[in-house]
Amino acid sequence: MTTLAIELARVDLLADLPRNSLAAVAAQVRTMRHGAGAVVLDADDGSSNRDVFLVLEGVVDVINYALTGREVSFARIEAGGYFGELSAIDGLPRSARVVAATDCRLAALSPQLFDRLVTEEPTVARKVMLRLARIIRACDERIMDLSTLRAVERVAVEILRLARPSDGNAGAPGRWVVDRLPAQRDIAARVGTARETVARVLSQLQEDGVVERRGRMLVVPDRMRLLRVAAGDRPEALLAR
């Protein structure tokens, strides 16, 4: 296989295609590079582009903006993922902005090629369905969070989602850790609040010993305490503000 066909095989959407099919796809896609911060796609920008983009290298963020101008984060897509399928499926304009979080390299499938793959390759069709199901479930969770939780609780829930059991490194055996805590601005965009609110909540959680900062790492010494905060058992200092 060509180098590009090998790269395409690392993208989850196409990973189960036979070699000859991957070679055929490789002959029909176009590749491009974007520097960090570049806008790859924009919502309702009037463009007729309906391509599906495969992330070969780097990371992209899917975002949108509220009427107030506040950024809302939908997803972060790393190498091996893809985006843009909604417009390829229904022919409507893009529903969100996609920004390169790092330098990235992408491959673009035309909507015609994407439609043919979905129609002729059952593994591709199933993966598209599973991805859409995951998106719907994630949206349901976020709608529930935004409808029922206060900002402090949403920040706690986001930390719980990011945290993983420690492997014993960094002096945190038996604890939960977020290896690289996202920037406060990014957390705010994820949970639908202001950066200042995230800063205040993190500061208070540290002061109360619910979390510990170690550089970019966030340590959760007692996950049950953080779960209680997420469930509404907020420290008095947060209740008073």
The domain locations on the chain are: 3-145, 149-239
Structure tokens, 66: 């509220």
Residue 20 pLDDT: 94
The CATH number fitting domain 3-145, selected from 3.60.15.10, 3.40.50.300, 2.60.40.1930, 2.60.120.10: 2.60.120.10
Q: What residue ranges of the chain have pLDDT lower than 50?
A: 236-241
Q: Could you give the CA distance from residue 100 to residue 105 in angstroms, rounded to a whole number?
A: 9
Distance (Å) of CA 233 to CA 178, 227, 236: 22, 9, 9
**H or E stretch at 52:** strand 52-57
Domain 149-239: state its class.
Answer: mainly alpha
Q: Same CATH topology for 3-145 and 149-239?
A: no
Region label for 170, one of left (φ > 0), alpha (ψ between -120 and 50) or beta (otherwise): left
Region label for 168, one of left (φ > 0), alpha (ψ between -120 and 50) or beta (otherwise): left
Give the three-class secondary structure for 155.
Answer: helix
Q: Could you give the CA distance from residue 125 to residue 112 in angstroms, rounded to a whole number?
A: 14
Output the pTM of the full model: 0.70
Query: For 166-184, what is each residue's pLDDT tens digit?
Result: 876 555 556 899 988 988 9
Query: For 153-164, what is each residue's pLDDT tens digit?
Result: 999 999 998 999
Query: For 104-123, what is each residue's pLDDT tens digit?
Result: 999 999 999 999 999 999 99
Contact 62, 186 (CB under 8 A): no
Residue 66 pLDDT: 72
Burial class (CB in 10 A: 0-12, 13-18, 19+), 84: buried
